[in-house]
Chains A and B, each alone.
Chain A
Amino acid sequence: MLILAIESSCDETAVAVVKNKKEVLSSIVASQIDVHKEFGGVIPEVASRIHVENISYCVEQALTQANVTMEEIDAVAITQGPGLIGCLHVGVQAAKTLAFAYHKPLVPVHHLAGHIYANELVVDMKYPVLALVVSGGNSELVYMKNETSFEILGETQDDAIGEAYDKVARVLGLGYPGGPKIDKLAKEGNPICPLAKPKTQGKYDFSFSGLKSSVLQYVKRMERLGQTFEMADLAASFQECALDEIFDRVQKVLNDYPDIQHFVVGGGVSANSRLREKIEELKPKYPQVTFTVPPMSCCTDNAAMIGVAGTIAYMSGRRGDASLTADSGMEIQ
Chain B
Amino acid sequence: MKIEIHSLQETQEFAKKMADLCKDKQIVITLDGDLGAGKTTWTKAFGKALGVKGTINSPTFTILKSYKQGNGSPLHHIDAYRLEGASQDLGFEDCFDEGICVIEWSEFIEDQLPEDRIQMSIEEGMDEERIITIDATGSISQEIIGGLL
- Residues of chain A having any CB pair with chain B under 8 Å: 10, 39-46, 82-86, 136-137, 155-160, 163, 167, 171, 205, 209, 212-214, 216-217, 328-329
Contacts and interface: CB of A to CB of B under 8 A. Distances in A.
B40 A209 contact: yes
A39 B82 contact: yes
A82 B66 CA distance: 12
Contacts of B146: none
A45 B88 contact: yes
B64 A137 contact: no
A44 B63 contact: yes
A328 B87 CA distance: 21
A209 B83 CA distance: 20
Contact of B36 (A160, A217, A329): A217
Interface string B10-54: 000000000000000000000000111000100010000000000
Given A84-B63, A159-B60, A329-B66, A213 B86 contact: no
B119 interface: no
A84 B62 contact: yes
Nearest to A38: B85
B96 interface: no
Given A41-B82, A213-B36, A329 B65 contact: yes
B133 interface: no
A46 to B, nearest CB: 7
Interface residues of B, number: 24
A86 B85 contact: no
B57 A43 contact: no
A216 B58 CA distance: 18
Contacts of B57: 155-160
Contacts of B86: 39, 43-46
9 contacts: A41-B84, A44-B63, A155-B57, A158-B57, A160-B61, A167-B35, A213-B36, A217-B36, A329-B65
A329 B40 contact: no
A65 to B, nearest CB: 30
A329 B58 contact: no
Contacts of B35: 167, 171, 212-213, 216
Contacts of B65: 328-329
B82 A157 contact: no
B55 A155 contact: yes
B85 A158 contact: no
Given A39-B86, A213-B36, 11 more contacts: A39-B84, A43-B82, A44-B88, A45-B86, A86-B90, A137-B61, A158-B57, A205-B55, A216-B36, A329-B62, A329-B66
A205 B55 CA distance: 10
Contacts of A44: 63, 82-83, 86, 88, 90
A159 B62 contact: no
Contacts of A328: 62, 64-65
Given A44-B63, A45-B87, A329-B66, A163 B58 contact: yes
Contacts of A83: 62
Contacts of A214: 36
B71 to A, nearest CB: 19
Nearest to A49: B88
Contacts of B64: 85, 328
A156 B55 CA distance: 9
Contact of B61 (A86, A136, A216): A136
Contacts of A205: 55
